[in-house]
Amino acid sequence: MKTLYLIGFMGSGKSTIGEMLSNILGLPHIDTDHLVEEVYGQTISSIFQSDGEGTFRKYESEVLKKTPSLNHIISTGGGIVEKEENTLFMKENGIVIYLNTSFEEIAKRLEDDQLRPLWSQNVKEKKILFNRREKLYEENADKIIHTDNKSAREIAGEIKVLFE
């Protein structure tokens, strides 16, 4: 089976669904955000603060290209689609699944989140970011799964059915 790449905005459930799919399908799971932190020995927040978003995006691309192209579940960071080299890599090496979540649902899920650097902006800036990325997610997805008002188990089940 080709690797499954989960894309979507921050808070869409990529990490949670990735872990759940890993258990259901018996495939290893890699979270690119965790991998960046592991490889570079810094939290994402500290990378953003000390070196900026550009450096983080560079690190993100580097770790993505080291992920296996067979029999894995890869949860990506919300901004992975910002670089065309990343979307091309995912499309060439696996199946890209977009966890489509509304802005309102994201806002509810991340209401108390203080760890995501780009979520600390004002609402107008968050919506601009969301709208820009939403187009990129849709353009690069092989499959779109709508996640609003669904449990993680339901979403993982929908994805599993696609590959039976």
Q: What is the pLDDT of residue 108?
A: 87
Contacts of 104 (CB under 8 A, 6+ apart): none
Q: What is the pLDDT of residue 119?
A: 65
**φ, ψ of residue 58 in degrees (nearest 5):** -65, -50
Residue that has been written with the tokens 């932190």 in this structure: 37
**Run means of pLDDT, 10 residues per run, the chain, 164 residues:** 94 96 95 96 92 95 94 96 97 97 89 65 86 97 96 95 80
Residue that has been written with the tokens 């691309």 in this structure: 61
Question: 47-51 long-range CB contacts below 8 Å, 24 or more apart?
Answer: 48/117, 49/117
CATH number for 30: 3.40.50.300
Q: What is the pLDDT of residue 123?
A: 80
Task: Tally the domains of the chain.
Answer: 1
Alpha-carbon gap, residue 145 to 33, rounded angstroms: 21
Tokens (6 digits) for 41? 């020995």
Alpha-carbon gap, residue 31 to 29, rounded angstroms: 7
C-alpha pair distances (Å), 105 with each of 16, 96, 111: 16, 22, 10
Q: What is the pLDDT of residue 93?
A: 95
Q: What is the DSSP string of 60-78?
A: HHHHHTTS-SBS-EEEPPT
Q: What is the pLDDT of residue 69?
A: 85
Q: What is the pLDDT of residue 107?
A: 87
Q: What is the pLDDT of residue 163?
A: 75
Q: What is the pLDDT of residue 1?
A: 82
Alpha-carbon gap, residue 137 to 37, rounded angstroms: 24
What domain range includes position 141?
3-162
Instruction: Break the chain down into helix, strand, coil percent, rounded to 5.
Output: 55, 15, 30
Q: Would you say how long the chain is, in residues?
A: 164
Q: What is the pLDDT of residue 114?
A: 62
